[in-house]
Structure 1
Amino acid sequence: MKYIIAGTDRPDSNTLKISKHIQSIYQSLGEAVEIIDMKEMKSHLHDDIHYGKTSAGMQPYIDKVLGSDGLIVVVPEYNGSMPGVLKYFIDHLKFPESFEYRPVCFVGLGGMFGALRPVEHLQQVFGYRNAFIFPERVFIMNVHKILAADGSVQDELIKNLLMKQAQGFQKFTEALKTSKLDANAVIAQKKKP
């Protein structure tokens, strides 16, 4: 299963609204995906010792990443980078197996630049962790203008870009899986005697 990481803990965030739209795209393509919501997860970020010792509250989120077929990271721009809660979540994840050979794609949302900076920062982090980064990124500028009151996406160009990314990411993850180059295949191979 793939997971969408809604990369902020802001209440009623546009990030979660876009994440739900992306989830509906994957459903329309015949694939169930789940959302990892930083707002839900953040209550567990501080209930463990961190750096190698995981609490029972954090374990389900970590297990989702460790077992995922791919990650779709949806990130807003905060002060020229990603929200701190997203980086802190990443810091909780096991090294190297959380991201090594794991397919990942990015959607940035924000004002004038559509979260270009946080997506580039995340590409550096995931690249350092040896993830397979899907090259088609989506940047949503002026996100507040493309969302209706009910949270639905109103802009046809953005809908098309998100659909194209989802279709491409499905092919990308399937190609890696078929070739046994994805993280789950690599982890299974390492476990063999």
Structure 2
Amino acid sequence: MNIFILAGSNRKDATSTQICRYLEKELQARDCATVFFDLYEKPVSFYTPEGYPEGDANLTEMKKAAAAADAIILATPEYHGGMSGVLKNALDHMGGAEFDSKAVLSVSSAGGAVGVSSLQQMQVLVRNVHGINSPEWISIGGDQREFDSSGEPASVAVKERAIRALNYFLQLAGQLKKEA
């Protein structure tokens, strides 16, 4: 299975990006191919309704990888009850060509206990581009945002939650891929 991971932070080593790196390792251990796209390292042009900005190699790469994927993981830090501006901007460039009938796992990292508002926003957006939301999501907050030197969550509970959500996501992605 081919999984596209979109890390939607504009901060180096963001915890939302770190949890994505952990998920990527878990996916690769299950023989999934992954494409990791970090918006901090590869920012994309501001969206305009006039159309696709020419010459933005990052944008072209992102859209191509998302379109080729069997399933997608979206991750964001939660800022003021919402997803990051860089993630929203990146998603504004995409639509049904990238998301239609694909499983999507939403992931959030918040300074408080949980990042539910950003997760709900991502799920609404996914529905509007005809993606299929995974029944589970991942939210880490507060002290849960600690990672060890190998890049794994320091909390056993966070690891268990991430694996449970990943299992649901992969099951859904497999069912959707069979139907395609």
Alpha-carbon deviation of 1:145?
A: 4.8
Alignment pair present for 1:158 and 2:158: yes
User: Is 1:175 the equivalent of 2:175?
Assistant: yes
Deviation at 1:161, TM superposition (A): 1.3
Structure 1 letter corresponding to 2:163: M
Moved more, 124-133 or 107-116: 107-116
1:76 and 1:124, CA in 2 relative to 1: closer, same or farther beyond 3 A?
A: same
Aligned residues: 177
- TM normalised by structure 1 equals 0.83
Distance across 1 between alignment mates of 2:36 and 2:143: 19
Alignment of 1:36-75 (within 5 A): 36-42=37-43, 44-46=44-46, 51-56=50-55, 57=57, 58-75=59-76
Q: What is the RMSD computed on CA atoms of the aligned residues? A: 2.0
Give the TM-score normalised by the residue count of structure 2: 0.88
1:123 maps onto 2:123 in alignment: yes
| Percent of aligned positions that are identical | 21
- Relative to 1, partners in 2 of residues 1:145 and 1:119: Cα closer, same or farther, differing over 3 Å? closer
Residues in 2 aligned to 1:143 and 1:129: alpha-carbon distance in whole angstroms: 34
- Secondary structure at the aligned position of 1:124 is classed as helix
| Partners of 1:73 and 1:49 in 2: CA distance | 21
The answer to whether the 8 A contact 2:135-2:169 is kept is no
Greater C-alpha radius of gyration = 1
How many angstroms apart in 2 are the aligned matches of 1:84 and 1:158? 26
- Cα distance, 1:78–1:173 mapped onto 2, change above 3 Å: same
Q: Provide the residue aligned with 2:24 in structure 1.
A: 23
Contact kept, 8 Å, 1:14 with 1:144, in 2: the verdict is no
Q: Give CA deviations for 1:154-186 in whole Å, capped at 9, x if unaligned.
A: 111111111122222112111111112xxxxxx
Q: Is the 8 A contact 1:103 1:133 kept in 2?
A: yes
Mapping 1:96-115, distance limit 5 Å: 96-115=96-115
Which sections of structure 2, spanning at least 5 residues, go unmatched? none
